[in-house]
Amino acid sequence: MDHSDHAGHGGDAGAGAGHAMMIPYFHFTTGDHLFFKEWVPSSPGAIAGACIGLFLLAIIERWLTAIRAVFEHHWQQRALLLSSRYSEGTSSLSSSSRTDGKSLDESGSVKMREEGGPTTQIPPVLPRLRLRTIPPFVASHDIPRGILHAFQAALGYLLMLAVMTFRVEFILCIVAGLGIGEAFFGRLSNGSVH
């Protein structure tokens, strides 16, 4: 079967049946589907509306990146506060003598003394707990982090799908929106939040 002949005649028949072929190069022609089968911006007003919407989506994507950075900084500060409270609790425990026959020395070893018996020393456990390399799961931090990431990924995929139409107007509006969004919110996402 000759594919060039099929593409030439079958493309017209397919277009008549509602199966338009995607144009795989930059173009200004109308007829591309944007996100949904029914959304085919063809009039100048519809194209302008789609461009404004894509421009705003791109700005929102950059804003969401900045919001995530602000929250990450906040969550990191809270995690440090929680870990310092934990270390303060263990240091006050080590400095005091306990009434149940157990005490902690400076190295964190537990000394147990049974009534009338010898003192048994247990190796330090608490210093090993403080050397944790992976932060613990904190639901109030990690669930919102996941939701924000999922929403940001969804926006990124929507923008990618719009770029894949190869419509020059859509691509220019997305690039402009990302640039303006970065100009407004980039300083927040680059670690300058205090």
pLDDT class of 144 with cuts at 50, 70, 90: very high
Q: What are the residue ranges of helices labelled H in the chain?
A: 3-16, 44-95, 126-130, 139-163, 168-189
CB atoms near residue 71 (< 10 Å):
15
**Which tokens go with 74?**
């906040």
Q: Note the pLDDT of residue 163.
A: 92
Residue 110 has pLDDT above 60, yes or no: no
For residue 110, what are the β-bridge partners? 104, 122
Answer positive or negative: Cα dihedral of 91, 97, 99, 102. positive
pLDDT digits (tens, 9 = 90+) for 44-98: 999 999 999 999 999 999 999 999 999 988 888 887 777 666 655 555 544 444 4
pLDDT digits (tens, 9 = 90+) for 86-106: 655 555 544 444 445 455 455
Place of tokens 């904190």: 138
Residue 160 has pLDDT above 90, yes or no: yes
60 neighbors 151 (Cβ within 8 angstroms): no
Average pLDDT, the chain: 75
For residue 121, what are the β-bridge partners? 111
Separation between Cα atoms, residue 125 and residue 65, nearest integer Å: 40
Give SS3 for 33. Answer: coil
181 neighbors 41 (Cβ within 8 angstroms): no
- pTM for the structure as a whole: 0.62
Residue 7 has pLDDT above 60, yes or no: no
Q: Note the pLDDT of residue 106.
A: 54
Q: Note the pLDDT of residue 14.
A: 43
